[in-house]
Amino acid sequence: MDDVFVSSIDPEHWIPDPDVPGSEMHELVNADGVWAGLTRFLTVDGPQSWSPPRRETIHVLEGEVVIEVADGTTLHLRPGDVASLPAERETIWHITAPFKEFWVLA
């Protein structure tokens, strides 16, 4: 079946994320308008700017993050928290490492 996606998050399967300097990613799926996977930061060198190309929903698995959204909203997220950000809205992420999230862009 080519429409069922399963993945192992073995440490060897993480690659540098070309869109987010200093992070690594593990992709689960990139098909049918959905892109989903995991991102992790083992160390952090200052705030990270990010404007998701599509609506992004995240689930924080490890660490903490404060996300400043361009509309003035500030999110304080910890493990177990889930948030959804609008497409193309500028955000500034203040990450406490180690940090790991599951994300879906759709």
Between CA 78 and CA 100 the distance in angstroms is 10
pTM of the predicted model as reported, rounded to 2 decimal places: 0.89
Please list the pLDDT of the chain residue by residue as tens digits (106 residues). 577 877 777 767 799 988 788 899 999 999 999 999 999 998 998 999 999 999 999 999 999 999 999 999 999 999 999 999 999 999 999 999 999 999 999 9
- 15-105 falls under which CATH superfamily? Jelly Rolls (2.60.120.10)
Q: 């177990």: which residue's tokens?
A: 80
